[in-house]
Structure 1
Amino acid sequence: MPSRSPLPSLFTRIPLAGNYPAAVTLALLALSPYLILTTATTLMEPQIMRDIGATPYELQLTSGMSNAGYAFGAVACADLVQRLARRLVYLVCESGFVLATVLALSAQNIGMFATGVVFQGLFTGMLLVASLPPLIIGHPIERLQTTAVVISLGLFGMVAFGPLVGGIVGSFGGWRPLFAGIGTLALIGLIVGSLTFEGNEPPDRRARFDWTAIPLAFGTTALPFFGVSWLTRGDYSDPEFYVPVIVGLICGVFLVGGQYRKARPLMPVRPISNTLPVVGTLNAMLVGACFTTLLELIEVYLTRMGDFSPVRIGSLVTPQIMGVLIASLLFRQLMSTRWTPVLALCGTVSVAIGGAVLLATDTSNSAVTIPFASFFLGFGAGAGVTPGLFLAGFSVPSIQIGPTFALVELLRSEAAFLIGPVLLHFALDEGLANGFRQSVGITLGITVVGALGLVILYILGGARPEAPDLVSWHAGTSTGYHSPALLAAVRKA
């Protein structure tokens, strides 16, 4: 039951409070605009560079810092919602996203554009943590399976849709109108949110700023993402690359370790350090990173080697949308059963199949192989990431679903942005004719070895397929999964 808010009457008269379709619309409009742009921008980069006088490095740095903002924003919001009502956080962040989009679409130089896009990422990461928990636990349990589909489509469905949007804009022009459309969607989201989002009493208005988590989360995201962006203008041997990456990864180790040891952590690292949530989180990181890497390699290869138009490239990878949709609907049926870990593994296997198909790809057969591979990549993303999120989410009390998603999204974003640009730079260094296949082969190897490692970790944990106790989890009386500790079977031997 939603709690009565102590906020002023302006914020308590919510016409659509408790309306599930409105809550779904709110969540999709909070996440979708930015996630579409994350995969649409690549195919319209030449237009943007020409219009604002930017260099490839400046655009890559903008993209990197925007992704860093997304990951950091999720953690920052997990801290803020302890002291502030979620409704207030949502309205401020959605308003900020609208203003950031206006700044980006009206940009006359890279400074204005970069500022707008980075704040788009920051506010979207915050919106994820502000908007998803009320959708998941604020409605009857009968809605939970549909909510899982919404989250899957909102996260990876929109990412899969981005290349088609970017391809159309890249071929026919109009990146500013696209940003205007994105801003309009966000404005509609703001209106829907003001009519739907209920107020709440923050859990702890006196909670102190987490000086161990927030600065480390900033270093964990900003530093490596800057270092990897440097590869657009430099090389692996440059200190501008390896120093930020190494320092950022060290920050990440201290972040996770510190949260594990704290009695009252911002993010529940200790509860999700057991077999099922660890396997789910690692699977989401693995699938997300390999999916993103292969998609980037496809786009660059077809652009530079095949001289394909952006719209043709976007069309060739469009079957990934169908893959995500099928995976999402399948997860809807399996979420309450014991087969969620199996579905997550199937997602990893599907990405591996997509990578294997890409090994046989060249410009002469791409009209057949790219759509085929894209379908498996899309299915893998939908089947591997969202189930992984929920394996972690169901392993903690439902009230901690927001901080849990923040941690998993931070780790997933970190993996994706570290692997993708590095392997793309390797492919370009080797020459795309050979470098493309080599980078695809490396990605395929990472996927296969990672999948085998996760299976071994699952077995050594002594885990057995079990259905989650969703009723107790949703009511807040228990966790959904009661996972064995890591390597529990080995410890007992």
Structure 2
Amino acid sequence: MRSSPSVSRVLARPPLAGSYAAAVALVLLALCPFLVLTTATSLMRPVLLRDLHATPFELQLAIGLSNAGYAFGAVAAADLIQRVPRRHVYFVCEAGFVVASVVALSARGIGQFGTGIVLQGLFTGLLLVVALPPLVTRRNLRELPTTAAVVSIGLFGMVTLGPLLGGLIGDGGDWRLLFGVIAVLAAAGFAIGLLSFSPNEPLAPGAGFDWLAIPPALAVTVLPFFGVSWLTRSTFGSLVFLLPVVVGLLIGVVLIVAQYRARDPLMPVRPISNTLPVAGIAGAMITGATFTTLVELTEVFLLAAPRYSPVKVGALLTTQLLGVLVAALIFRRLLPTRWTPVLALSGLLSIAAASVVLLTLSASNAAAVVPVAALLLGYGAGAGVTPGLFLAGLSVPAAAIGSIFALVELLRSEAAFLVGPVLLHFAQDRGVTDSGYRATVAIVLAITLLGALLLVGLYLLGGARPHRPDLDAWLGGQGGAYHSPPLAARLRKG
């Protein structure tokens, strides 16, 4: 018996399908639960090691592979939505995230816990590409700046709450309760999806599995993250560290080159190989890596030198959230203007300023210095990463933004979650309360300053003049909003 046309229309269009607030809530509930965990676990380590009877290597491997799952999931989603409707993928991922959270919170050993958090990372990476692009590409120019601010808060605002939550649990709280709350939030996201996610068709129903992108992306994420995790039980000279990292990064280079040369690539590298998107992606990678490193390094120093409790460490770092909110509000105002590249550069310079402040950190002045540095770090993350993401995404047609987000998040995650553990291990080898801390902060400062010079050099050599993005044309599917000169265009003319 066929349904009546009226019933079919009701089933085809959920009651909140046109609601902007519901679309925003859907994205935040899809992304924030796992992103909070990425910065909460460092201050929860002693509790997790005790309750799960785990070694430091086992716990670090579980955390590292969960981050790898997030990066790989974004690429896998770009391929999957070619053949499967986004709505179906969304519900499977949200339901899977709930199950993964229950698996983790009920774990009595590191094997089950690691399985749970790796799946959490994988499903969140998938949700990034499934849930975020429909919000960004809504055909309402007035909503887009607010959406940009929401993306910034979703990607980094909740990340900055992680240390406080991790500190509360590290001081004797119940980490299982945190995972339970996260499962409930994911279930709420599932419910909102039922009310607001409209049915849709796959992007390319006849497309086959992308063998040239997916297996290499898996290797690019799993191998280096495994190698870095091995540092918890070895040294920089260990082949078990060096081989996976070097091989994984080489495969990454091959993947990018192959996508650039492919006739119909999963991730369109060629359209974003111009000045503005390359500068945006490079800035996002450097900012993400230095931000993560300084936050983790500061936590380790505060626990070791003044011997602060985990909750006090987390509380001192909460001014990051204010910095992210300021950056998000500024980005909301600047997105329709020509100043987004300048904002992205200011984020990197703010990380450099935070590094200078942290060079003065000592056991006696930590309570005054850390909140200032954390404010600068939060602004730097919000101003440096999300604008860079949009510089790349707005340089291609709106229909391709999901694939671009997947590529940028792969590269950004690779940088952020590899550089941080390596530099942290370097600091601990030299003594985090002695020369190791300041030497590592100095290295981060040098990276940020060189990164800022790189961005300025890219702009100058490319001859990229700041211009307003053509958002009307972009939302209308008429091409990219930014029209950027080729890399080193001025040198090519010469």
The interval holding the TM-score normalised by the smaller chain is over 0.9
2:349–2:380: 8 Å Cα contact kept in structure 1? yes
In structure 2, what residue type is equivalent to 1:459?
A: L
Query: Match for residue 246 of structure 1?
Result: 246
Aligned length: 487
- CA distance in structure 2 between the partners assigned to 1:417 and 1:52 by the alignment: 23
- CA distance in structure 2 between the partners assigned to 1:331 and 1:408 by the alignment: 19
- CA distance in structure 1 between the partners assigned to 2:58 and 2:369 by the alignment: 33
- CA distance in structure 2 between the partners assigned to 1:126 and 1:252 by the alignment: 19
In structure 2, what residue type is equivalent to 1:304?
A: A
- CA distance in structure 1 between the partners assigned to 2:417 and 2:243 by the alignment: 16
1:43–1:167: 8 Å Cα contact kept in structure 2? yes
Q: Is structure 2 residue 265 aligned with structure 1 residue 265?
A: yes
Query: Match for residue 4 of structure 1?
Result: none
- CA distance in structure 2 between the partners assigned to 1:46 and 1:103 by the alignment: 20
- CA distance in structure 2 between the partners assigned to 1:390 and 1:151 by the alignment: 10
Query: Which TM-score applies when normalising by structure 1?
Result: 0.98
What is the CA distance between 1:172 and its match in structure 2? 3.4
- CA distance in structure 2 between the partners assigned to 1:113 and 1:172 by the alignment: 19
Query: Match for residue 3 of structure 1?
Result: none
- CA distance in structure 2 between the partners assigned to 1:251 and 1:221 by the alignment: 10
Query: Match for residue 17 of structure 2?
Result: 17
Q: Deviations over 1:187-209 (max 9, x none)?
A: 10111111111111112111011
- CA distance in structure 2 between the partners assigned to 1:158 and 1:242 by the alignment: 33
Query: Match for residue 388 of structure 1?
Result: 388
- CA distance in structure 2 between the partners assigned to 1:270 and 1:404 by the alignment: 11
Secondary structure of the structure 2 residue equivalent to 1:484: coil
1:66–1:120: 8 Å Cα contact kept in structure 2? yes
- CA distance in structure 2 between the partners assigned to 1:52 and 1:343 by the alignment: 43
What is the CA distance between 1:138 and its match in structure 2? 2.6
What is the CA distance between 1:10 and its match in structure 2? 8.5
Gaps of 5+ in 1: 1-7
Cα–Cα, structure 1 residues 10 and 127, in superposed 2: closer, same or farther, change >3 Å? farther
- CA distance in structure 2 between the partners assigned to 1:207 and 1:343 by the alignment: 38
- CA distance in structure 1 between the partners assigned to 2:451 and 2:493 by the alignment: 25
What is the CA distance between 1:167 and its match in structure 2? 1.0
1:166–1:310: 8 Å Cα contact kept in structure 2? yes
Identity rate, percent: 60
- CA distance in structure 2 between the partners assigned to 1:71 and 1:379 by the alignment: 23
Secondary structure of the structure 2 residue equivalent to 1:30: helix
2:39–2:159: 8 Å Cα contact kept in structure 1? yes
Query: Which TM-score applies when normalising by structure 2?
Result: 0.97
1:287–1:351: 8 Å Cα contact kept in structure 2? yes
1:171–1:310: 8 Å Cα contact kept in structure 2? yes
What RMSD over aligned residues (CA atoms) do the two structures have, in Å?
1.1
Query: Match for residue 155 of structure 2?
Result: 155
1:20–1:139: 8 Å Cα contact kept in structure 2? no
1:18–1:139: 8 Å Cα contact kept in structure 2? no
- CA distance in structure 2 between the partners assigned to 1:347 and 1:364 by the alignment: 29
1:115-130 correspondence to structure 2 within 5 Å:
115-130=115-130
Query: Match for residue 445 of structure 2?
Result: 444
1:364-383 correspondence to structure 2 within 5 Å:
364-383=364-383
Higher mean alpha-carbon deviation, 84-93 vs 132-141, is at: 132-141
- CA distance in structure 2 between the partners assigned to 1:22 and 1:307 by the alignment: 44
2:64–2:226: 8 Å Cα contact kept in structure 1? yes
Q: Is structure 2 residue 73 aligned with structure 1 residue 63?
A: no
Q: Is structure 2 residue 217 aligned with structure 1 residue 220?
A: no
- CA distance in structure 2 between the partners assigned to 1:103 and 1:230 by the alignment: 25
Query: Match for residue 435 of structure 1?
Result: 436
1:86-485 correspondence to structure 2 within 5 Å:
86-432=86-432, 433-485=434-486
2:302–2:313: 8 Å Cα contact kept in structure 1? yes
- CA distance in structure 2 between the partners assigned to 1:10 and 1:345 by the alignment: 47
2:139–2:476: 8 Å Cα contact kept in structure 1? no
1:472–1:478: 8 Å Cα contact kept in structure 2? yes
Query: Match for residue 54 of structure 1?
Result: 54
What is the CA distance between 1:99 and its match in structure 2? 0.3
- CA distance in structure 1 between the partners assigned to 2:140 and 2:25 by the alignment: 17
Higher mean alpha-carbon deviation, 159-168 vs 403-412, is at: 159-168
What is the CA distance between 1:249 and its match in structure 2? 0.4
2:139–2:475: 8 Å Cα contact kept in structure 1? no
- CA distance in structure 2 between the partners assigned to 1:436 and 1:194 by the alignment: 49
